[in-house]
Amino acid sequence: NAGVTQTPKFRVLKTGQSMTLLCAQDMNHEYMYWYRQDPGMGLRLIHYSVGEGTTAKGEVPDGYNVSRLKKQNFLLGLESAAPSQTSVYFCASSYSGLNQPQHFGDGTRLSIL
Amino acid sequence: AQRVTQPEKLLSVFKGAPVELKCNYSYSGSPELFWYVQYSRQRLQLLLRHISRESIKGFTADLNKGETSFHLKKPFAQEEDSAMYYCALYNFNKFYFGSGTKLNVKP
């Protein structure tokens, strides 16, 4: 049982490049989330989705876009990467709601040069 | 605004000693509080939440609304408790993590 799978695990980009991070879950969860974690800080919510076809902004949404075309997948896009987006990105999912147990992926380490 | 504060980055205790990981929050209303844990080479996972009022792996946490705290306690630490612990808060579709405390239990 894979749970939450994030692709890729590592990536290095140049400023201005675009990329998409993929999150897939096999638990039939309704809610999915994208967080970023910077050194010395806790995880901060970027965007989340309460179901297929829906997305909502979290605490730090600027510079990111998301899509939830299929229930099991949640994509995080960076249209024009900036050095300030260098971070570790975590995807999570829960059966229903942010206040329910969230199941996390392994994280994606992204560096923007 | 810092909503969840974990004042200790690192806490080292000996096996068998009591442990308390501190968490303070600043938020109006009635938030829900959680503790998440990440063991070495494992994923971040929920340890416990205040509304469940349960003990998990010997850990308990009491929500003190007067002091706005949600400290995590265990009377006798074990080496397998060594991990990164994050306090978290939920209120009105907002979710905030603290910066985490690394617990090191020495033999």
* Sign of the torsion angle spanned by Cα atoms B40, B37, A106, B8: negative
Report the alpha-carbon distance of residue B90 to residue B34 in Å, rounded: 8
Taking CA A40 as the corner, what is the angle to CA B10 and CA A25, rounded to the nearest 5 degrees? 105
CB contact under 8 A, A45 and B94: yes
Answer whether residue B29 shows pLDDT above 90: no
A23 near B CB under 8 A: no
CB-closest option in A42, A58, A105 to B43 = A105
Per-residue pLDDT tens for B33-42? 999 999 999 9
Per-residue pLDDT tens for B5-28? 999 999 999 999 999 999 999 987
A44 near B CB under 8 A: yes
* Sign of the torsion angle spanned by Cα atoms B75, B79, B80, B86: positive
CB-closest option in B90, B94, B100 to A42 = B100
Work out the pLDDT band at B2, boundaries 50, 70, 90. Answer: low
Angstrom distances, CA of residue A29 to CA of A4, A5, A25, B60 = 10, 13, 7, 28
